[in-house]
Amino acid sequence: MSHELRTPLARLLALIETASLPGADPTASLEQMRGEVEVMDELIDDVLFLSELETGRQVVSLGATRAAPVLREVVSELAERSERAGVSLELEIGDEELELPVRARMLRVVVQNLAENALRHAGEGATAVLSLGRENGSPVLSVRDDGVGVDAENLVRLFERFYRADRARASRGSGLGLSIVKHVVEAAGGQVEALGAPTEGLEIRCVFP
């Protein structure tokens, strides 16, 4: 945690020092400074949320939630971000009435983290598809993209806290998104897996009971 905070903090201090130089225009650095503060804020929020999940202070599977409206809401909210990233975010809903055994807030957390992970790492020009349906009778929520993919060594570590594959190290994410997804899905009795290969894209699958 301290290591992850030092990076945006060091960038913030460098921006402050640059803005303090004679003849510098502080206004030009303000937006970058704001970005670094937002990174730290997101990291702290994610760490606290994951801690609450692990200690049981956040209840995951209290009731069930109809999933299709949540997916649509998240995709709509991420439309501008999707355009900036150059990644097309699409929906594939096979069962409009499908319910997942997760509280609405927790389902939204899972869907948003899956979508944001694809937007951050699939690469410009890729398409990411949020999918909802049944396979062999089990509800499945997934996101798959046709982007840069992940090699086998990194694939098995994607759900580790703060872990980033080499290409993702410049990402402004907290490095906790997929860890949170895994914890929520498993707390609801489900399983999460990552499939993919370099240049063949990545799929994160959440299979529920």
CATH number at residue 130: 3.30.565.10
**Are residues 89 and 31 part of one domain?**
no
Q: How confident is the model at residue 32 (pLDDT cuts 50, 70, 90)?
A: confident
**Are residues 105 and 33 part of one domain?**
no
Q: Which of 46-50, 118-122, 163-167 has the lowest mean pLDDT?
A: 163-167
Q: Which of 16-20, 73-77, 145-149 has the lowest mean pLDDT?
A: 16-20
60 inside domain: no
- The pLDDT assigned to 53 comes to 67
Q: How far apart are CA 136 and CA 127, in angstroms?
A: 26
Question: pTM for the complete prediction?
Answer: 0.71
Q: How far apart are CA 194 and CA 160, in angstroms?
A: 12
Using the predicted structure, report yes or no on whether residue 160 has a pLDDT greater than 90: no
Cα-flanking dihedrals φ and ψ of residue 202, to 5°? Answer: -140, 140
Q: How far apart are CA 173 and CA 163, in angstroms?
A: 11
- The pLDDT assigned to 138 comes to 95
Using the 3D structure, point to which of 36, 55, 74 is the last residue of a domain.
55
CB 140 within 8 A of CB 209: no
- The pLDDT assigned to 167 comes to 45
**Are residues 81 and 48 part of one domain?**
no
Q: How many domains does the chain have?
A: 2
- The pLDDT assigned to 172 comes to 53
Using the predicted structure, report yes or no on whether residue 24 has a pLDDT greater than 60: yes
Domain that holds residue 23: 2-55
**Are residues 47 and 81 part of one domain?**
no
Q: Which of 93, 123, 97 is nearest to 111 (CA)?
A: 93
Q: How confident is the model at residue 20 (pLDDT cuts 50, 70, 90)?
A: confident
Average pLDDT of the chain, as a whole number: 82
CB 184 within 8 A of CB 53: yes
